[in-house]
Structure formats: C-alpha cells, structure tokens
Amino acid sequence: MPTWTPDPTFYPSPRMASRAPAEHLAYVAMFDPAREKPDAIAVVDVDPDSSDYSKIVGQVDMPNTGDELHHFGWNACSSCLCPNAPHPHAERRYLIVPGLRSSRIHILDTRPDPRNPKIVKVIEPEEVADRTGYTRPHTIHCGPEGIYVNALGNPDGDAPGGIFLMDHETFDVRGRWEVERGPQQLAYDFWWHLGYDTMVTSEWGTPKTFEDGLIPEVLLGSQYGRRLHFWDLHKRCHLQEIDLGEEQQLVFELRPAHDPTKAYGFVGVVISLKDLSSSIWTWYRDGDKWAAKKVIEIPAEPADPDLLPPVLKDFKAVPPLVTDIDLSMDDRFLYVSCWGTGDMHQYDVSNPFKPELTGKVRIGGIVSRATHPGAGNGALSGGPQMVEVSRDGQRVYFTNSLYGAIDPQFYPDGIDGWMVKLDAKPQGGIAFDPDFFIEWPKGHRPHQVRLEGGDCSSDSYCYP
Amino acid sequence: MAALWPWLTLAGLGAFHGVNPAMGWLFAVAFGLHRGNHRVVLLSLLPIAIGHAIAVAIVAGAIISLGVLIDQQTVRHVAGAVLIGWAAYHAVYGHRHRVRFGMQAGMMGLGIWSFLMATAHGAGLMLVPVLIPLCLAATPAREITAAGSLPVSLAAIGVHTLAMLAVTGSIAIAVYQWLGLDFLRRGWINFDWLWTAALVAAGGWLILG
C-alpha cells in the first residue's frame, strides 16, 4: 500500500543510511536438510536492551516441505528514491522468500507485527517457469523496475540461468529480464552500479551439477562458473564478460560499492584448482571497459588427512572456501567468510586495490572446530557463512550452513546450526559479542540474515 | 481579469508540474551530484524543460486537430474521458513503467526521459481544460483554424513551460546548493495521489463543466 510520505527506511544516499537507527530484529532463513519439516523464516531479537536478546522470538513456517529457503529480500528499498524511476511511496514491508530447491516463491508481510510476519501469497514453481523460463530462484534485489530475482537454471535443471522481474506491489511474475544475453549461461549472484547503469552477474553452475552436491569431475574440469558478466541495466543487454581464469571455480557473491559514483566492487571466488586457495577480486572501470584484478588470496591450511572429509583427504589441506562477503555501507570494510577454515576476516578496502587485514575471528571450521564463549557444547561444526552487516557498520551477524547437499561433503559429521554476532570498531577490529550465540533449534540450519529496515546487502542508492 | 485566468491556470499547473520531483528537478540534482558540478544542474534543466514542452505540445496539437474535425462540446467529452482513463491507468499501472534512462543518460537522453515521463503522467492532458477554451476560441466567430490557433497555443505552451522551468530550476538549485537530499525523506509527499486527483478533477470539469 502506498503512503503519504516516503518509507522512513528509505535513504537517498549510503552516507545517510549509515546513520540509520540500530536494528531490533533480524530475519533468518532456515531449512530442514532432511526435507521432512517445513522450512521457515525465523525472527531473532537483536536488541541488546531486550530481555529476549539473542533469542528466536518468532517463526513463520512455509506451507510445504523441501523448499530449501536460502536467500531472500525486500519488495522495496532505498532505490525507490532514484530520480529516473521514483516509487518513493512504496513500503519496505514484504519479504520475498524463494525456495532454491522447490522454485516456489513466498511473500511474507512484516506488518503490522514485525515479530510475527504472515504469508500473504505463494507463487507456485509452475507459474515461475511458465512466465520466465527459469527455475531455482536465488538472489532478490529491489531495484528501478521492481523486484529482480535471479534463477540458477531452466525447468530441466540446465542452463541458462538468468534474471526475472516481479511487480513490487502485486507480486505478479512479470517475465524474463534479459533482452540480449550474449554468451552468459551460468548464474549465481547479481547486483548493479546504479550510477553507471550497469548490472553485474556471477556464475555457479547448472542445478544438475549442484543439487546433489558438488561433482568432483565438473569441478576439476573447470566446468563450474569462472566468469563475471556486465550488462546494460536499462537496455537489458550483455556488454562484456570477464573470465577470471581456468583455475578459478565458483564465482559467488557480488558487492559493488554502495556509493553510486564509485565504479568498482568485490567478488569472491570459492576455490582455485591450483592450490585450493580462495580469492577476492576487484572489478573496476578501465577506460570504456570493465576489468577485474585479484586483490586478496587466502591460502589453504595444511591439515592431518585423518581430520579431513573424503573429498579433501588427498589434498592434505583445508581450503578456506570463501562463500560469502559483505561490504560496509561506507565502502570501507569488507567481511569475508571462510567457511572451510572457520575464519571471518575483516579488510580495510579504502583502497580497493590494496586491502589490509584489520580483524579476524575463528569459529567452527572443518579441522579447527573452534568454539564460542557463549556456546555450551564446545567444538562447533560448520563455519562462517552468510554474513550481514548493520547499516551503521557496528554489528556483524552470520550463520554457519552453506547448502543442504554441500554441507555433508565438507562437514560429514553433520552441521549443528548457530548464529553469532560480532562487534566492529569504527577504525577496524572485530570481536565476538559473548552474549550472542544462538544454538539453532535441531532439525533446521540457518542461512541468510536480513536486518529490519535494511542492511548492507539489501539497498542500493542513486545519490552519493 | 477573466481573460487572465486561463494563463494563470497554465502557469499554476506549470508550477505544480515543476514541484513534482518525478518531473525533473531531482534528476538534475542527481546529475549535479554525480558530476560534482552545479553547472550540470543548470544545464540539465534545459532538456528537461524541452522534453516537457514537447509532451504538452503534442496534446495541444491533438486538441486543435480534434477541434477542426468535431464540435467543441464533443472534444470536451472525449478529452474528459481520456483524462479519467489516464488517471485510472496511472493509479493502477503507474508503478511499473519500463525504465529506459539512468544516471548515465546524456542531455539527449534526459530530454527523452522528460518527454516520456510527462507523457506517461498525462502532464499535457492535465492542461486540456484550459487549452480548449484558449486554442479553440481564438477567433470571436469561433471559426477554428489551425492558423488562428497556432500563436495562442504556442503562447500557452510557453507560459506553462516557463513556469515549470522556473519552479523546477529554483528547487533544483536550492536542494543542490543548500538543502541537501535528506529532506526528501519527509518532504516528498505522494505526488502520485495528487496527480491522479488532478487528472480526475480536470476530466470531470471537462465532462460536467
């Protein structure tokens, strides 16, 4: 429903958004890897003054089982204030929650009680496939033409994956976004530079090659994604592809600078076939083209094969497996989740080509199984994965599961879910909040975190 | 005094269009902020005004053409129905227009954007209640000829556009130089509602007036 004045959570610029009040609630996607119980969106109290601090205070069960909730997002956000396509009186109110495995899309209304959202619409997978030709919806972004969703495959579980649009008021599925896709076939993440009318997309693989877990032959044959794609955001056509190299596999999360006048961003590559390292690349404008350069390389750590899962025994090392990154609203700090080793790194990326490591914590990890001051059960499984940063940059939340079918390949003893929070110092440095450790209810694992009112991967801005 | 009213109304509607952030001043400010240059703000106002004027001129042209073909009362009814239909369309589908220009639009792009935005919003249609008596009553004998209507029509478009430019330019400069964008968060009232109401009012006036 439109309003008389703009939604108070919309900010013209990232600078203004970084002065937003602290969030009181977090929404967390949780799924049952056994696909027996319904997946759900959990509501977590993150207000330190509340008696329910660091507790799950609400839960919305999906109507089916086996959806595999993964990523999700808001129907509307700060990009509604853009001058070229303003929708300032839309409300940030609905969560768009796709099932990555089922391709079913749920619309949750967070009003009137944000602790108790209600499912108001369910879009069945057949409708998504009929209207778009796509399945396996993944990332959600609110943007200039409504809700953008990228999907990882076609109805047969093959390529191409791509982007489709949904109406941000009626939630109708409006159709395929691409007018001219060029050589792009694989999909994973997408985001944009509103200041440069440019969309960026990354690559994982086709659903057939990941829904039963990563396939070693595909990986070793460099058949998973290794490219970045750049698109004209308004003409919807492919402009350029950048191949990061044959040894680079799984090009995942994209974090463009929030400041729309800056033409650079960061992307994480999960694994190098050469030495199992992970890397962060900076893409940037070079003349009238885009270019990309490796700016961080995180090496694998040597390990006793007895402590390693079967897929890694021959390598005698733990790969860092950088599977999520997040950029603070002031574009200063980049957070890097190393799901394999159990590290969460904080880099100062004021100079996007020369990141400096400014903080590091360890929790879980394939070999280290590091604990947390708030954990009762000692050795923790899983590692830092989906990470979300508050708009003021002072709080960092993350969970420990990657994907149902891949979790047991790296953590064969199973993953017990948890969610933790870091306190970040304004000039760099991170530490666990000892009072924030959520032992996730058995049977479900947590994945993406979204913060009330917006966070560092939900909104985009048209003004510097 | 009565002869002045249509002109004041045209100017007033120009001011109304100029105030609406979606009609251009906000784009001019964004351009200025991106290029870090206040001259870009001023320069951007020109294509915005031209695009707006062309959108209005097309409607004026259509009214004159209709006036040559059919009697004025019928023109009023047809135009009134179109206005109300446009208002309904705007209310239901106004949020889902295809976006064709962004922050990299050049001055030509900005002009086309302004034209499309004014057309889609029915900016010209909103002037029809004033344009009909002005343009179709240019001669005392009500002999409607395109030649007779042309100067007065051009004057009408000129008055409207200049008022729009003056208001949109003043706001753009004030926001860029002094106010900043923070006030958008509270001050950007729902022009879509006002706009829809204005279109319905203009349509109703044509049919009933």
Interface predicted TM-score (ipTM) of this complex, two decimals: 0.94
- The answer to whether residues B196 and B44 touch, using CB atoms and an 8 Å cutoff, is no
Nearest to A242 by CA among A267, A219, A217: A267
With a cut of 90, say whether residue B48 has pLDDT above it. Answer: yes
Mark out the alpha helices in A179-322 (DSSP H runs). Answer: 216-220, 310-313
Nearest to A445 by CA among A413, A463, A419: A419
Whole-number Cα distances in Å, B53 to A407, B58, B82, B162: 61, 9, 20, 9
The Cα of A194 is separated from the nearest Cα of chain B by a number of Å equal to 7
Contact B190 A3 (CB under 8 A): yes
Give me the numbers of helices (H) and strands (E) for chain B, helices first please. 9, 0
Does any CB of chain B come closer than 8 Å to the CB of residue A20? no
Nearest to A447 by CA among A382, A390, A374, A359: A382
User: Counting Cβ atoms within 10 Å, is residue A151 exposed (0-12), middle (13-18) or buried (19+)?
Assistant: buried
Over residues A38-72, the pLDDT tens digits come to: 999 999 999 999 999 999 999 999 999 999 999 99
Place of tokens 């839960």: A59
DSSP H or E stretch at residue A4? none
CB-closest option in B34, B96, B98 to A195: B34
Whole-number Cα distances in Å, A338 to A248, A366, B173: 16, 10, 48
Residue A301 CA to residue A370 CA, distance in Å, equals 15
- The answer to whether residues A56 and A27 touch, using CB atoms and an 8 Å cutoff, is no
**CATH H superfamily, domain A14-451:** YVTN repeat-like/Quinoprotein amine dehydrogenase (2.130.10.10)
Rounded mean pLDDT of A331-351? 98
> Among A88-97, A240-249, A397-406, B138-147, which stretch is predicted with the lowest mean pLDDT?
B138-147
Count other Cβ atoms within 10 Å, centred on residue A187.
27
How much is the pLDDT for B1? Answer: 62
Within 8 A by CB and 6+ apart from A427, the residues are none
Rounded mean pLDDT of A160-173? 97
Question: Looking at A233-383, which runs of residues are DSSP E strands?
Answer: 237-243, 248-256, 264-272, 278-286, 289-298, 301-302, 317-318, 322-327, 333-338, 343-348, 356-362
- The answer to whether residues B157 and B60 touch, using CB atoms and an 8 Å cutoff, is yes
Over residues B85-144, the pLDDT tens digits come to: 999 998 888 888 899 999 999 999 999 999 999 999 999 999 999 998 888 765 444 455
How much is the pLDDT for B140? Answer: 45
Residue A271 CA to residue B189 CA, distance in Å, equals 49
Give chain A's mean pLDDT.
97
Query: What is the value of pTM for the model shown?
Result: 0.96
- The answer to whether residues B109 and B185 touch, using CB atoms and an 8 Å cutoff, is no
Rounded mean pLDDT of A188-212? 98
> Among A128-132, A202-206, B185-189, which stretch is predicted with the lowest mean pLDDT?
B185-189
DSSP H or E stretch at residue B160? helix B146-174
Amino acid at position A141, single letter: H
Q: How confident is the model at residue B150 (pLDDT cuts 50, 70, 90)?
A: confident
Beta-strand pair A430-439/A418-424: antiparallel
Contact A462 B103 (CB under 8 A): yes
Domain boundaries, given as residue ranges, for chain A: 14-451
How much is the pLDDT for A3? Answer: 85
Task: List the single residue in B with minimal CA-CA distance to A259.
Answer: B34
Nearest to A461 by CA among A283, A288, A349, A329: A329
Residues, chain A: 464
- The answer to whether residues A389 and A409 touch, using CB atoms and an 8 Å cutoff, is no
Over residues A103-139, the pLDDT tens digits come to: 999 999 999 999 999 999 999 999 999 999 999 999 9
The partner residues of A153 in beta bridges, in order of sequence, read A135
Does any CB of chain B come closer than 8 Å to the CB of residue A234? yes
Q: 3-state class of B62 per DSSP?
A: helix
CB-closest option in A5, A90, A261 to B34: A261
Over residues A379-405, the pLDDT tens digits come to: 999 999 999 999 999 999 999 999 999
Radius of gyration in angstroms for the set of CA atoms belonging to chain A, rounded to a whole number: 20
Q: Is the dihedral of CA B198, B204, B206, B208 positive or negative?
A: negative
How much is the pLDDT for A69? Answer: 98
- The answer to whether residues A384 and A337 touch, using CB atoms and an 8 Å cutoff, is yes
CB-closest option in A5, A174, A234 to B188: A5
> Among A177-191, A244-258, A273-287, B149-163, which stretch is predicted with the lowest mean pLDDT?
B149-163
Residue B3 CA to residue B8 CA, distance in Å, equals 10
With a cut of 60, say whether residue A222 has pLDDT above it. Answer: yes
Chain B residues with at least one Cβ partner in A under 8 Å: 21-22, 26-27, 29-30, 33-34, 95-105, 113, 181-182, 184-190, 192-193
How much is the pLDDT for A99? Answer: 98
End-to-end CA distance of chain B: 20
Q: Report the residue of B23, B181, B189, B195 to disrupt the A interface, i.e. the one with the largest count of A CBs within 10 Å.
A: B181
| Percentage above 70 pLDDT, chain A | 100
CA B136 to centroid of chain Cα atoms: 20
Q: 3-state class of B97 per DSSP?
A: coil
Rounded mean pLDDT of A151-174? 97
Residue A297 CA to residue A281 CA, distance in Å, equals 9
- The answer to whether residues B65 and B75 touch, using CB atoms and an 8 Å cutoff, is no
With a cut of 60, say whether residue A147 has pLDDT above it. Answer: yes
With a cut of 60, say whether residue A171 has pLDDT above it. Answer: yes
Task: List the single residue in A with minimal CA-CA distance to B185.
Answer: A6
Within 8 A by CB and 6+ apart from B66, the residues are B75, B78, B79
Over residues A342-369, the pLDDT tens digits come to: 999 999 999 999 999 999 999 999 999 9
SS (H, E, C) A335-369: EEEECCCCEEEEEECCCCCCCEEEEEEECECCCCC
- The answer to whether residues B31 and B44 touch, using CB atoms and an 8 Å cutoff, is yes
Does any CB of chain B come closer than 8 Å to the CB of residue A261? yes
With a cut of 90, say whether residue A315 has pLDDT above it. Answer: yes
The Cα of B32 is separated from the nearest Cα of chain A by a number of Å equal to 10
How much is the pLDDT for A39? Answer: 98
Amino acid at position A392, single letter: D
Nearest to B181 by CA among B172, B189, B190: B172
User: Counting Cβ atoms within 10 Å, is residue A30 exposed (0-12), middle (13-18) or buried (19+)?
Assistant: buried
Nearest to B83 by CA among B17, B138, B128: B128
Give chain B's mean pLDDT.
91
